[in-house]
A and B are shown apart, each in its own frame.
Chain A
Amino acid sequence: MMTISLLGLLACYSGGIFLPPCLPGRPRAQNFIANGLAIVASLFGLVLGLTGLLASEPLAISIPSTLPFLTFAVRIDPLAAFFVLTISLAGLAVSIYAFGYLTKFYGQTSLGLLGSLYNGFLLSMTLVVIADNGFFFLIVWEVMSLVSYFLVVTEHEKSEVRYAGLFYLIMTHVGTAFIILTFLIFFQQAGSFSFETFRHPESPLPEGLRTLAFLFALIGFGTKAGIVPLHVWLPYAHPAAPSHVSALMSGVMIKTAIYALIRVYFDFLGGQFPWWWGFTILAVGAVSALLGVMYALMEHDLKSLLAFHSVENIGIILLGIGAGMIFQTYGLQEFAALGLLAGLYHTINHAMFKALLFLGAGSLLYATHTRNMEEYGGLLKRMPWTGFFFLVGAVSISALPPTNGFVSEWLVFQSLFLSFHLPVVLLNLILPIAAAMLALTGVLALACFAKAFGLSFLALPRSTHARHAEEVPITMRVGMGGLAVACVFLGLAPMVVLPLLDRITGPLAGVSIEGRVLALDGWAVAPTNVEFSSLSTPALALMLVSLAGLGLLLAWALGGRLRKRYYKTWGCGINLTLRMEYTATGFVQPIKRIFSTLYQPTIKLETEFLEESHYFAKRRRFEFYIEPLFQKYLYDPVVLFFSATADHLRIVQAGSLHLYLAYIFVTLVVLLLVAV
């Protein structure tokens, strides 16, 4: 079963890669073939993921190659299967959506190339999580990075897109360098690139090298995941890609880094850590979560806003994993499993709602041709379906009950609350502070999505684009609808999800907690026991529905039949115009002012007065931007240093062919001398 679905998946993605370019000049056919095959492949992926999660033995296939150290080995254990499932779920919905979305690109971009890259992207991500050989992993990882780079620069005629692409390319390669270093550390001890030998090296790694491997993996994979301060590329690159690709990049691609971190820490390093590893992950997670949402609040480009939220959610995932690592250090394996469980649950949840929101943003872009939130408004009446699905996504990402984001954040909270079992007072105090930061993050996310939804979909249209917007084609709605259903399902059915996740965390943390995390026949999630804490989203949903019904009943009983009068909003005596509405900039102004230390906002207000009187302004110019701190203080000095060094090295580059030949000659001679 697993082998068949794996082969089917490979065949369909390969078809999706090679067939579309064979049909030049027929964008419709290319669109159908590329996305149709991607859908079939995702279905295979779903089967593969589910069977992989349920299988008792991992599936391992290995095809040797002629290159030394390289084998095309794949291994599908529960952890890999879970990520295959996540990728395929998102891939399925996004591919359906892409049918409609790509019609916009007819005649502008080569759909053959786009479709082929899209399939390649999905395939490389799937291979990354199932690869079982370090060399093979690095190859598909690099392919994934390159393909996503090409996808980012799809609209390469815009200079900001080219800048975003270049930034991404550089950062991702810096990351890859660290990943290679990580693997080399394992390699020099294991003598082979096979993950199996990484897991069980002949002689265990010395402490110093283990620490190095920990740090390099954190930097290398952290760059891809977008942890602060390595996140700077993410808000440029993710929005620059076509929206359905952004959905995959933000929803799924960054998760491959989470996969790799778990693989390295819990699998290769055997789940044995000093306490400060977990603490580092926890701190990185807390800071990423908080700064991610803080910067997201200031963004008025809808897609950039969503990209910053990816930083935030990666932070939340890392909070769960970090808490798990700390518990693991002190031998509290049940709680370690809980922390990991929370992180993994949030991983799939974030994949669903972030993909949904990016698709929603894509729909808005499709309908209004702009990404600027200040030019939306009143779209809920014009695009009711998109609006509803976006609302579901917004409620989920704001972690409001009874949706999926709430369940996983609740689990993260619980694992942080359990910190009082730890024997170290410092950690007893630090974990609650992380919980407080998570709380702040959660509410700021709520504020941010109240802004994103409220200003995009409610009140009056703020531009002619928004006024003429229409609902998007049916396939796009189906894609978003599927993800919305997934969000609600994952929220209401933790009793289905948690036992599956337990199959992953069981081997990693060394203890299965399925029986201890669910209570009341699975209707309630109760880490440790019901006395300590419990949560039942189905019950909450039922309560909400019945109490809303009670509200209706009361209104009817006390007020009789409803007679509404419609009238325009009171605008202090004059007609309400769109210029009187609250803007996105205005909405976040108090937050900007309170956290001005972080934002370092610069506001310029220039006023031109009439010549006759100083009391009447002719024109006002308002300009405002916030200082990107990390770029200014961390990246710019590095870039400056390198360009200065490069300037000095330019002397070597005289442009003379003879000189270059002389360099080669001298090198050759020196090498020969050394060889002797």
Chain B
Amino acid sequence: MVDLCSALLLLTCFAIVAQRRLSACVDLFALQSVFLAATAALVAFLTGIHHIYVAAALTVVIKAIVLPRILKKVIERLNVTRELQMNINVPAGLLICCALVILAFFITQPIIPLGFLLTRDSLAIALAIVLIGFFTMIARKKAVTQVVGFLVMENGLFLGATAAAYGMPLIVELGVFFDVLVAGLIVGIYTHRIQDAFDSVDTSKLTVLKE
């Protein structure tokens, strides 16, 4: 079951890579966060470690509700709905992500037998999600999708922590959530600034700053 949930997480990653509409990307991220929370809750239920429930609840609140709201608002105000130009086109991006998944499996292969029985296979998926999130930040041009990529990475890390160590200590997790929230807010504001300065949220325009 845990494997199935993490498989769904990975699937939403691919959907984000394949999606051009910004708001749909954000929705997919929200969906992914829901799956993540479900995975965490499942782990909590199966292991009986209670503080993971807290983390799961926080995930739903912050990542599935608050952050998507903020991002949606940003998209609305900036009036950018689609991403037409990408650094790497969609089919190529999907194939690269496939390669990343295989790479993740290859790397985690020697570690997996060492992990806990319940969630050890999720480690490979977690690494794959982190890599794909990173890749999204590279492949996309619009600031909003880059934020989504960053958040996907964070989801991957959370899954990894749950998978490898049944979650981090609660205090650390709280800190991380706070960080993510603040990062989301800052990036929202920062996107506005880029928009004001360049009339676009295309981050590749930032290169002119070096002059």
Task: Write the residues of chain A forming the contact surface with B, with a CB cutoff of 8 angstroms.
Answer: 425-426, 429-430, 597
Query: Chain B, 127-138, contact with A by CB distance < 8 Å: what is the 0/1 string?
Result: 000000000000
Residues of A within 8 A of B92 (CB): 597
Within the complex, the shortest CB–CB distance from A596 to chain B, in Å, comes to 10
Within the complex, the shortest CB–CB distance from B95 to chain A, in Å, comes to 10
Some 10 contacts from A to B, beta carbons below 8 A apart, are A425-B105, A425-B109, A426-B102, A426-B105, A426-B106, A426-B109, A429-B102, A429-B105, A430-B102, A597-B92
Residues of A within 8 A of B109 (CB): 425-426
Within the complex, the shortest CB–CB distance from B45 to chain A, in Å, comes to 29
Interface of B is mostly: helix
Within the complex, the shortest CB–CB distance from A282 to chain B, in Å, comes to 15
Q: Which residue of A lies closest to B102 (CB)?
A: A429
Q: Which residue of B lies closest to A596 (CB)?
A: B89
How far is B40's CA from A290's CA once the two chains are assembled, in angstroms? Answer: 43
Task: Write the residues of chain B forming the contact surface with A, with a CB cutoff of 8 angstroms.
Answer: 92, 102, 105-106, 109
Rank and list the top 5 A-B pairs by shortest CB-CB distance, nearest first: A426-B106, A429-B102, A425-B105, A425-B109, A426-B105
Within the complex, the shortest CB–CB distance from B1 to chain A, in Å, comes to 21
Residues of B within 8 A of A426 (CB): 102, 105-106, 109
Within the complex, the shortest CB–CB distance from A143 to chain B, in Å, comes to 45
How far is B104's CA from A481's CA once the two chains are assembled, in angstroms? Answer: 53
**Beyond A425-B105, A425-B109, 7 additional pairs, beta carbon < 8 A:** A426-B102, A426-B105, A426-B106, A426-B109, A429-B105, A430-B102, A597-B92
Residues of A within 8 A of B106 (CB): 426
Residues of A within 8 A of B105 (CB): 425-426, 429
Within the complex, the shortest CB–CB distance from B74 to chain A, in Å, comes to 32
Within the complex, the shortest CB–CB distance from A608 to chain B, in Å, comes to 33
How far is B102's CA from A430's CA once the two chains are assembled, in angstroms? Answer: 9
How far is B103's CA from A430's CA once the two chains are assembled, in angstroms? Answer: 11
Q: Which residue of B lies closest to A597 (CB)?
A: B92
Within the complex, the shortest CB–CB distance from B203 to chain A, in Å, comes to 22
Within the complex, the shortest CB–CB distance from A592 to chain B, in Å, comes to 15
How far is B76's CA from A154's CA once the two chains are assembled, in angstroms? Answer: 71
Residues of B within 8 A of A429 (CB): 102, 105
Within the complex, the shortest CB–CB distance from B90 to chain A, in Å, comes to 12
How far is B109's CA from A426's CA once the two chains are assembled, in angstroms? Answer: 9
Q: Which residue of B lies closest to A429 (CB)?
A: B102
Within the complex, the shortest CB–CB distance from B10 to chain A, in Å, comes to 14
Within the complex, the shortest CB–CB distance from B43 to chain A, in Å, comes to 23
Residues of B within 8 A of A430 (CB): 102
How far is B86's CA from A597's CA once the two chains are assembled, in angstroms? Answer: 14
Residues of A within 8 A of B102 (CB): 426, 429-430
Within the complex, the shortest CB–CB distance from A659 to chain B, in Å, comes to 55
How far is B11's CA from A450's CA once the two chains are assembled, in angstroms? Answer: 37
How far is B91's CA from A597's CA once the two chains are assembled, in angstroms? Answer: 12
Within the complex, the shortest CB–CB distance from B129 to chain A, in Å, comes to 18
How far is B102's CA from A429's CA once the two chains are assembled, in angstroms? Answer: 8
Within the complex, the shortest CB–CB distance from A283 to chain B, in Å, comes to 13
How far is B196's CA from A597's CA once the two chains are assembled, in angstroms? Answer: 34
How far is B101's CA from A425's CA once the two chains are assembled, in angstroms? Answer: 12
Within the complex, the shortest CB–CB distance from B121 to chain A, in Å, comes to 11
How far is B121's CA from A425's CA once the two chains are assembled, in angstroms? Answer: 13
How far is B106's CA from A426's CA once the two chains are assembled, in angstroms? Answer: 6
Within the complex, the shortest CB–CB distance from A115 to chain B, in Å, comes to 51
Residues of B within 8 A of A425 (CB): 105, 109
Within the complex, the shortest CB–CB distance from B131 to chain A, in Å, comes to 16
How far is B140's CA from A484's CA once the two chains are assembled, in angstroms? Answer: 52
Q: Which residue of B lies closest to A594 (CB)?
A: B91
Within the complex, the shortest CB–CB distance from B120 to chain A, in Å, comes to 13
How far is B124's CA from A429's CA once the two chains are assembled, in angstroms? Answer: 14
Within the complex, the shortest CB–CB distance from A61 to chain B, in Å, comes to 50
Q: Which residue of A lies closest to B95 (CB)?
A: A433
How far is B124's CA from A426's CA once the two chains are assembled, in angstroms? Answer: 12
Q: Which residue of A lies closest to B98 (CB)?
A: A433
Within the complex, the shortest CB–CB distance from A485 to chain B, in Å, comes to 42
How far is B92's CA from A429's CA once the two chains are assembled, in angstroms? Answer: 19
Within the complex, the shortest CB–CB distance from B135 to chain A, in Å, comes to 17
Within the complex, the shortest CB–CB distance from B86 to chain A, in Å, comes to 13
How far is B98's CA from A429's CA once the two chains are assembled, in angstroms? Answer: 11
How far is B88's CA from A597's CA once the two chains are assembled, in angstroms? Answer: 10
**Which of A425, A430, A597 is the most central at the interface, judged by chain B CB atoms within 10 Å of its CB?**
A425
How far is B102's CA from A82's CA once the two chains are assembled, in angstroms? Answer: 39
How far is B109's CA from A429's CA once the two chains are assembled, in angstroms? Answer: 13
Within the complex, the shortest CB–CB distance from A337 to chain B, in Å, comes to 28
Q: Which residue of A lies closest to B124 (CB)?
A: A425
How far is B194's CA from A354's CA once the two chains are assembled, in angstroms? Answer: 60
How far is B102's CA from A426's CA once the two chains are assembled, in angstroms? Answer: 7
Within the complex, the shortest CB–CB distance from A245 to chain B, in Å, comes to 40
Q: Which residue of A lies closest to B91 (CB)?
A: A594
How far is B108's CA from A425's CA once the two chains are assembled, in angstroms? Answer: 11
Within the complex, the shortest CB–CB distance from A464 to chain B, in Å, comes to 43
Within the complex, the shortest CB–CB distance from A431 to chain B, in Å, comes to 12
Within the complex, the shortest CB–CB distance from A595 to chain B, in Å, comes to 10
Q: Which residue of A lies closest to B92 (CB)?
A: A597
Within the complex, the shortest CB–CB distance from B105 to chain A, in Å, comes to 6
Within the complex, the shortest CB–CB distance from A107 to chain B, in Å, comes to 55
How far is B12's CA from A191's CA once the two chains are assembled, in angstroms? Answer: 62
Within the complex, the shortest CB–CB distance from B112 to chain A, in Å, comes to 10
How far is B106's CA from A429's CA once the two chains are assembled, in angstroms? Answer: 10
Within the complex, the shortest CB–CB distance from B101 to chain A, in Å, comes to 9
Within the complex, the shortest CB–CB distance from A279 to chain B, in Å, comes to 12
How far is B92's CA from A430's CA once the two chains are assembled, in angstroms? Answer: 18
How far is B106's CA from A430's CA once the two chains are assembled, in angstroms? Answer: 11
How far is B102's CA from A425's CA once the two chains are assembled, in angstroms? Answer: 9
How far is B99's CA from A426's CA once the two chains are assembled, in angstroms? Answer: 11
How far is B92's CA from A597's CA once the two chains are assembled, in angstroms? Answer: 10
Within the complex, the shortest CB–CB distance from A594 to chain B, in Å, comes to 8
How far is B106's CA from A311's CA once the two chains are assembled, in angstroms? Answer: 30
How far is B105's CA from A429's CA once the two chains are assembled, in angstroms? Answer: 10
Within the complex, the shortest CB–CB distance from A597 to chain B, in Å, comes to 7
